[in-house]
Every structure is written in C-alpha cells, then in structure tokens.
C-alpha cells in the first residue's frame, strides 16, 4: 500500500513537472494552425523524456549521485562550465517564461496588466523556496496541478475524430507553411525534452533518499508521469484543433487560450484555464529555480538541499534568490510572455546535445550504475535521442528565422 | 591510483562530512633526480579559471584583488586526504578553513539578516 501511494504521488509530481507553459503554448499553437497533424511531435518528445527521466532516476538511486555531480567528475570542469553556462542561460529564459505565464494567468483572472504581477509572483516563488521543504514543492504544488486533467476531460467531451487523432500520431509532411510547421515541431520537442526535468528528477531522487530498491518504482513513475503529461499535452492540442482552428484563432496571444475550454465548460472553462495555466507555470517556476540552484551547488560541491534551513546553506539559498531576481525582470519590463516561451523552447531544443550526450557515458559506467547499466536497447534509444538533438541544434535557428513569426 | 580519474573534480568533505567544495586542482612537486610528488590539492576560483584559460585566471585574480578578495587557492596537504570511491575526505574542520569563507560571509552578512533564515 505504501509503495502504491509512493508510485501514485510520484506520477502526479512528474506530471506536475512535465506540464508547463511551454508544453501548453506549443501544443495549442500546433492544434490551432495544423489541426491534429503535429501529435507525432508530442508523442516523440514524450518517448524521449520517459527514457531520459528513467535513466536519471536510476542513476541517482544506484550511485547516490546527481547528474551534475557525475558530469563534473567524469567530464571535468571545462565541460561542466560549458554546460553550466548554456543550461543556466536557457533555464533562466524558461523560468522567465514560466513567471510570465503565472502573471498572464493573474491578468486573465483579474484584468490587471501582467507586468503589475511580476513582483508579487517573484516574491511568492521566493517565499515558497525560502520557507518550503522539497516535499512541499514537489508534492503540494504538483497535486494542485491535477487541475490540468480538465484538458483531458475536455478533449473527450468534444468527441474529436479519433481516426484523425491517431493518424496525427504518425509523422507527416505539412500541406502549407512548411517552415512554421517544422518550427512548431521543434518547439514542441524543446518543451517536452526539457533538461530541467531530468536534472530536477535526479536531484529529487537524492532529496527523497532513493536507494537501489527504488529502481523498479522509478521506472513506473518515470513512464507513468511523463506518459500522463504527454497525454495532457495531446489533449491541449486536440482542444486547440477542435475549438480554436474552426474559429480562426491561432493562439498567438495568451488571451486567446481560454477559448480552449470556454466552448466546452462555459464560464467555468475560463476559470479552469486560468487555474491550470497559473498553477502549472507556478509549479514549473519553482522546479526550474531549484534546478538552477541545484546545478550550481552540485557542480561546485556546495552544501545543498531544499530540506535544510537557508542559513545552513547560504550559498545555495543566495543562488536561488539571485535567479528569481534575474528571471522576473523580463515580465516587469512587459516583454510578451508568449514570445518568451516560444523563444525559450526553441533555445532549449538548440542546446539539447550538451545535456544529453553525457547520458551515454554515465549510464554505462560500472563505477556509478554497476549492474544497472543501460541495455543495448536503452543505449540505442539514447543514441537516437542524441542524433535527434543534433538535428534540432542545427535546424532550430534557421527555423526560428523563417518560421518563428 | 589515477590522479585525474580518482581525485580531480571529486567532492571534498571534511572529517564531519561537511561539504567543502570540489578538488579544483592538484599540485605536483618536481625535484631533481626524484619522481614527481603529489604535494597538495587546491580549492579556489583562480585554480578553476586557470583550467579554462591561464589568461582568464590572471584576469579573475586581478579583479578579485581589486575588490580586496584574496585570490590564492586554499591548499590541503596530500597527507591529510583520504581518497574514497567517489569522495575525498580531508582531515580538517571545514568552517575553520578558507574553503567556506564565502559561505560564512553570506550567512553572516546576507542570508542571516533575512527573516526566517
């Protein structure tokens, strides 16, 4: 029973981590512009992230180390510094987008411009980090994130043409706006295969004191959590294809997003959208802030744990404070949160090889993972993801120029 | 033992398992007619920057001196170290060494002054 509860909670928290502003925005744009045709990109991203999250959890449970720890040890400081700068900047952009998402949800709910919410939202994120424990952040906020299940219920209620939905799961060439189609596909992959997810997950396994006995549970949680998150993203796309596309709404602005749920649930749909957007972005903002602080502290060998008092790990708490200050500036200046989101998802896609290549080496290193090394199948999958990551790194910037608008 | 594989960049803890940092550098002593001897390990920003580029290391050290921060790395004699599988244990008390200087400064001057710390 205890194990079942642990698995259920783990799945819920993984969903909470998966669903954020990037996956909602990119899935909505995909459905609004290309109907069901881009479902394959969400499915592909989902499969990739299931494998990477499972491996990062297995690595932490068996070796007792997080990914940044091992990357610094095995690849040396120079590679770590390069990864730290790249991943830190991209994560900061994604965090800025998440904070913007919370502000937009508040603007939709209150009518007060989103810039005005930048400082209160940043303060709230900081306060939860300052006073909260890892359990509060991981489980509390993620449980609230269950409200996003409303997208799945909505997608079932609208009775989409399921044969077309299924057909969308197989990759196909676009009939119009090729550059835009591929740019959205790349953004979806960037939103799904977020490095912050597996870095956060490996640190979480250490915070939760996972041991070798958690290898099986980890597999179920990673597959169930990321799989369910993928399902919710597909539901957003279905709603966009059935509710936005026929009305000619392209989801180019957040104010258009409530139309995903209003036709299905009426006025309640509006509030469900506001709550889903706000809570999902808030949860993701906490996780990304923690992930950047973890990455810094683990890479430099400082004391770190969200379960300790800020006073006992001054450098760690100072780091997340600075990160929050830096990340709320774009919202304060009034930069469009949707543009920030789409840009940061593309930047994530462009920098994926830096954080994925180490998996291939670490997951086959006997001194860390012993008998839990990758099978030939898992290695083949990681190699395929690395190949995909290099393709994304090459094509993202040209697609951003020709299809980003 | 392979120094780079088994020691460089490993987590370094003090005798009461307090995290001190990572092994940022290893100092070898070369003496005539004798084999090279491992003398110290180093922890410090300048050592790290030197690994990226010596010019960058010099620039960072100059910048630190301008702000009256001692850029010299903290050295721990090799004899005071126990090299484990993935951790290095130093027979020192972390809080009494320069390795935690920044941590203690932030604790006293910044974090400790915020309510609820």
CATH code of residue B47: 2.30.30.240
Give A386's contacts (C-beta < 8 A, 6+ positions apart).
Answer: A353, A356, A357, A360
Instruction: State the pLDDT at residue A22.
Output: 84
Residue range(s) defining the domain that contains residue B101? 3-113
How many domains is chain B partitioned into structurally?
1
The percentage of residues in chain A with a pLDDT greater than 70, rounded to a whole number, is 97
Per-residue DSSP letter, A241: I
Residue A142 has pLDDT above 80, yes or no: no
Contacts of A325 in chain B (CB under 8 A): none
A16 falls in which pLDDT band (50, 70, 90)?
low
Distance from the Cα of B112 to chain A's closest Cα (Å) equals 6
Question: What is the SS3 assignment for A85?
Answer: helix
Cβ of B75: how many Cβ atoms within 10 Å? 17
Distance from the Cα of A23 to chain B's closest Cα (Å) equals 35
Q: Cβ of B112 and A311 within 8 Å?
A: yes
How many domains is chain A partitioned into structurally?
1
| Angstrom distance (rounded) from CA B76 to CA B7 | 13
B20 touches chain A (CB under 8 A): yes
Instruction: State the pLDDT at residue A9.
Output: 67
Residue range(s) defining the domain that contains residue A377? 2-403
Cα A307 to the chain's mean position, in Å? 23
- Window A:353-392, CB contacts with B under 8 Å: 367
Q: Cβ of B111 and A311 within 8 Å?
A: yes
* Higher-confidence position of A174 and A403: A174
Nearest CB to A72; choose among B20, B22, B111: B22
Tokens of A79: 């590679």
Query: First vs last Cα of chain B: how many Å apart?
Result: 43
Nearest CB to B52; choose among A72, A78, A318: A78
Residue A284 has pLDDT above 70, yes or no: yes
Residue A219 has pLDDT above 80, yes or no: yes
Tokens of A26: 């990119």
A324 close to A125: Cβ distance less than 8 angstroms? yes
ipTM above 0.85, yes or no: yes
| Angstrom distance (rounded) from CA A299 to CA A302 | 8
CATH number at residue A353: 1.20.1740.10
Distance from the Cα of A98 to chain B's closest Cα (Å) equals 26
């Amino acid at each position: 029973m205890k194990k079942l509860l642990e698995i259920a909670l783990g799945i819920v928290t993984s969903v909470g981590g998966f669903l954020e502003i990037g996956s909602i925005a990119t899935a909505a744009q995909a459905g609004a512009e290309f109907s069901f045709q881009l479902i394959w990109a969400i499915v592909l991203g989902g499969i990739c992230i299931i494998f990477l999250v499972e491996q990062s959890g297995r690595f932490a449970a068996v070796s007792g180390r997080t990914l940044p720890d091992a990357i610094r040890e095995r690849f040396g400081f120079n590679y770590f510094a390069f990864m730290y700068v790249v991943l830190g900047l991209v994560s900061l952009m994604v965090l800025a987008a998440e904070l913007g998402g919370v502000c937009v949800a508040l603007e939709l709910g209150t009518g007060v411009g989103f810039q005005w919410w930048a400082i209160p939202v940043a303060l709230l994120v900081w306060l939860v980090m300052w006073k909260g424990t890892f359990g509060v952040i991981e489980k509390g906020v993620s449980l609230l994130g269950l409200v996003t299940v409303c997208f799945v219920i909505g997608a079932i209620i609208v009775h989409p043409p399921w044969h077309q939905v299924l057909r969308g799961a197989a990759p196909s060439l676009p009939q119009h706006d090729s550059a835009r189609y591929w740019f959205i596909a790349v953004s979806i992959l960037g939103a799904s295969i977020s490095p912050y997810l597996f870095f956060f997950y490996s640190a979480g396994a250490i915070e939760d004191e996972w041991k070798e006995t958690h290898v099986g549970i980890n597999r179920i949680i990673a597959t169930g959590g990321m799989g369910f998150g993928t399902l919710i993203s597909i539901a957003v796309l279905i709603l966009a294809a059935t509710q936005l596309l026929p009305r000619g709404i392209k989801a180019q602005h957040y104010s258009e997003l409530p139309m995903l749920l209003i036709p299905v649930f009426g006025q309640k749909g509006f509030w469900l959208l506001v709550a889903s957007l706000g809570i999902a972005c808030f949860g993701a903002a906490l996780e990304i802030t923690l992930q950047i602080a973890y990455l810094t502290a683990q890479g430099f060998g400082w004391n770190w744990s969200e379960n300790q008092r800020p006073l006992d790990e001054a450098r760690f708490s100072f780091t997340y404070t600075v990160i929050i200050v830096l990340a709320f500036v774009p919202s304060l200046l009034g930069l469009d949160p949707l543009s920030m989101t789409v840009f940061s998802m593309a930047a994530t896609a462009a920098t994926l090889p830096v954080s994925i290549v180490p998996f291939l080496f670490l997951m086959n290193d006997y001194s860390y993972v012993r008998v839990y090394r990758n099978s030939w199948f898992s290695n083949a999958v990681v190699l395929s993801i690395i190949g995909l990551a290099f393709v994304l790194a090459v094509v993202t910037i040209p697609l951003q120029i020709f299809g980003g608008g | 033992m392979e120094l780079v594989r088994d020691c460089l960049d490993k987590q370094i803890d003090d005798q009461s398992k307090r995290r001190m940092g990572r092994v940022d550098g290893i100092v070898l002593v070369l003496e005539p007619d004798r084999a090279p001897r491992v003398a110290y390990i180093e922890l410090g920003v300048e050592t790290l920057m030197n690994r990226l580029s010596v010019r960058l290391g010099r620039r960072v050290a100059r910048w630190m001196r301008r702000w009256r921060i001692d850029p010299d790395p903290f050295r721990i004699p090799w004899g005071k170290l126990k090299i484990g599988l993935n951790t290095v244990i130093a027979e020192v008390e972390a809080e009494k060494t320069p390795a935690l200087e920044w941590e203690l400064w932030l604790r006293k001057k910044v974090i400790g002054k915020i309510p609820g710390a």
